[in-house]
Amino acid sequence: MKVLKRIYKYIAIISLFFSISQLSANAHIPSPKHEVRAVWLTTIGGLDWPHSYARSENSVKIQKKELCDILDKLKKANINTVLLQTRIRGTVIYPSAYEPWDGSMSGIPGLSPGYDPLAFAIDECHKRGMELHAWVVTIPIGRWNNTGCTKLRYKYPNMIKRIGDEGYINPEHPQAGSYIADICGEITENYDIDGIHLDYIRYPETWNRKINRRQGREYITGIVKMIHNRVKGRKPWVKISCSPIGKFDDLTRYRSHGWNAYTTVCQDAQGWLQDGFMDELFPMIYFKGNQFYPFALDWKENSNGRIICAGLGIYFMSDKEKDWDVELFKRKMNVLRANGMGHAFFRSRFFTENIKGIYDLTSDEIDKNPALIPPMTWQWNVKPSAPSSMTITNTKTGYLICWSGAKDMSDGTYLSYNIYSSPSYPVDIDDARNIIATRYLKQEIFIAHERNKRPRYYAVTAMDRYGNESQPISIPPKTTKENRSYLLKNDGKTLSVPQKTNILSADYLIIETLQGGIVATRPYIDKTADISNLSEGMYVLRSLGQKGITHRLGTFIIKRH
């Protein structure tokens, strides 16, 4: 069987090189509906973010805006996953019961920046339909006398090992796994993250091991298993991933030249996929030619149906010695896509600063269309029910699309929605070109009219935290004619309010913007409501009951001239 497996792998590698030979740098591979597109967003030393310290109310605003500007750029390029460095070197960017603040946020190690950067980043990513994975550096804890290492040495003197001027958690120490699992558990329990991303979950290459490789792999795997159990026991929809060395091991025809995950640093990442300890891998394949393509295929061949997103070292385009060209990455991304793999950029700044045109290439060509993240069907594979009602209100400036009635069949915390649009009916939700919004959190969206464009049809699906997607709800052509009678009537001063029913037990009316911001509340006692102090524009009217339950009553436009 082993011989047959090697033969099949050899045939697969030959097939890969045939596909590469057919793929010029200008080849066009259709954009898939499901694909991970990620960036590592580094916080250590403020390399990617932040670029200023937060010590006052104003400086907090500046720091937050820096992140929002980065996320806006990533969203525009259809990046759907942000790997945010959360644990740095025995220090963190959130208020922790275990470790001190990293100095990257406030400029002073151990000092809070005055807000919670992790919570803020999660909210901002989710607003943009992107996943946020907490990037946790596991084994290294920084310079021997720095804050993180010093505090850990004081608390666990026997768990820390010194190599040169650096401190490391000893993977062989009995408390190592439970301690790192405590950090991951704390993040998972306290934050609405989408993933825990483990970095440096391996032996340092300079470690003088006294045990054999098999034992070394058992120690590292034991830590991974403890993290898996802690995270999945709290929130099973949270993805667990890591960034292994880019080459798993030597291949039959291609050597790793002594630098690989399995043999060199005891990192059995492919085994973690097969044993169910990992949902996703981001192998750091920062190589080219025969040191990239066959090793990338090896990860895919041994993925066990899990997600593989290859790490691309775009920073080499800024390296004066290596000076890699952007066309090299164009071909890599095409080959990865042709073989069902995503791509992740290291690091964010090199991407958003458009080094050698990498941002333009990605946003305008390779990732021109949005993509959903592949569902974790191995964890949960029951689709949510589709929305059961949908309305489209055609106004002078655009369409207001509203829906409701979807039901989550999983044990996730909430549903999100994907919105599709097409000039033909029915809307094909399998065509990535029809995606206009992903992981959308509200049940209504306003889409402005485009000049000289054909009328379009819309479809909405519900999606659970595992990425399982419902069947679409859509409105046939005969019901989408322009009809503004759905709008609640008003004269600019007084709004006509739907009459209460016995079913609708509500004491108040809430008036919101289309973005969900509450601008006014009124008592729900008459058939009218005063809107004389509201600005011109479009609003949503909701009822509010004693138990905090709201119902959408309709929309209205205030236009006084």
Residues carrying CATH 2.60.40.10, the chain = 389-483
Comparing CA positions, the residue from 400, 385, 388 lying closest to residue 473 is 388
Which stretch of DSSP H or E encloses residue 539?
Answer: strand 537-544
Residue 173, pLDDT > 60, answer yes
**Average pLDDT of the segment spanning 165-171:** 98
DSSP assignment of 83-132, as one string? EEEEE-SS-BSS--SSSPBPHHHHSSTT---SS-HHHHHHHHHHHTT-EE
* Residue the block writes with tokens 């960017």: 93
Q: How confident is the model at residue 543 (pLDDT cuts 50, 70, 90)?
A: confident
pTM of the complete model? 0.85
First to last CA, the chain: 80
Give the pair of three-digit tokens for residue 265.
């640093």
The fraction of the chain above a pLDDT of 70, given in percent, is 92
Output phi, psi for 327, to 5 deg: -65, -30
419 neighbors 460 (Cβ within 8 angstroms): yes
Output phi, psi for 374, to 5 deg: -55, 140
Query: Strand runs (DSSP E) across 243-388, as ranges?
Result: 280-281, 307-312, 342-345
Q: How confident is the model at residue 560 (pLDDT cuts 50, 70, 90)?
A: confident
Comparing CA positions, the residue from 402, 409, 394 lying closest to residue 442 is 402
Q: Which amino acid is at 4?
A: L
CATH node for 42-242: 3.20.20.80
CA 281 to chain centre: 14
For residue 549, how many other CB atoms are within 10 A of its CB? 11
Pairing of strands 280-281, 239-242: parallel
Question: Between the CA of residue 310 and those of 40, 247, 299, 415, 524, what are the distances in Å?
Answer: 12, 11, 9, 28, 56
Comparing CA positions, the residue from 149, 46, 41 lying closest to residue 107 is 46
DSSP assignment of 476-545, as one string? -GGG-S--GGGSPPB-SSEEE-PPP-SS---SEEEEE-TTS-EEEEEES-SSEEE-TTSPSEEEEEEEE-
Give the pair of three-digit tokens for residue 339.
């073989």
524 neighbors 500 (Cβ within 8 angstroms): yes
166 neighbors 143 (Cβ within 8 angstroms): yes
Give the pair of three-digit tokens for residue 230.
């802690």
Give the pair of three-digit tokens for residue 51.
């670029």
Q: Within 13 Å of residue 437, how many CA atoms lie on the same side as its CB?
A: 22
497 neighbors 524 (Cβ within 8 angstroms): yes
Which stretch of DSSP H or E encloses residue 216?
Answer: helix 213-234
Question: What residues form DSSP beta bridges with 539?
Answer: 556
What pLDDT was estimated at residue 488?
86
- Residue 392 three-state SS: strand
What pLDDT was estimated at residue 170?
98
Q: Looking at mean pLDDT, say which of 156-165, 514-523, 529-538 comes out highest.
A: 156-165
What pLDDT was estimated at residue 43?
98
Class of domain 487-558: mainly beta
Comparing CA positions, the residue from 560, 540, 537 lying closest to residue 491 is 560
468 neighbors 485 (Cβ within 8 angstroms): no
Q: What is the pLDDT of residues 415-444, one digit of tens each?
A: 999 999 999 999 999 999 999 999 999 999
- Residue 259 three-state SS: coil
415 neighbors 489 (Cβ within 8 angstroms): no
Q: Which of 27-41, 416-430, 533-547 has the lowest mean pLDDT?
A: 533-547
Output phi, psi for 168, to 5 deg: -140, 145
Residue 18, pLDDT > 60, answer no
Q: Does domain 389-483 have CATH number 2.60.40.10?
A: yes
Q: Which of 6-10, 67-71, 436-440 has the lowest mean pLDDT?
A: 6-10
91 neighbors 148 (Cβ within 8 angstroms): yes
Pairwise CA distance, residues 279 & 196, whole Å? 10
Pairwise CA distance, residues 475 & 389, whole Å? 10
Pairwise CA distance, residues 34 & 379, whole Å? 17
Average pLDDT of the chain to the nearest whole number: 92
- Residue 560 three-state SS: coil
Residues 6+ apart with CB under 8 A from 68: 124
Pairing of strands 131-137, 195-199: parallel
Pairing of strands 166-169, 160-163: antiparallel
Residues carrying CATH 3.20.20.80, the chain = 42-242
Q: What is the pLDDT of residues 391-421, one digit of tens each?
A: 998 888 888 999 999 999 998 889 999 999 9
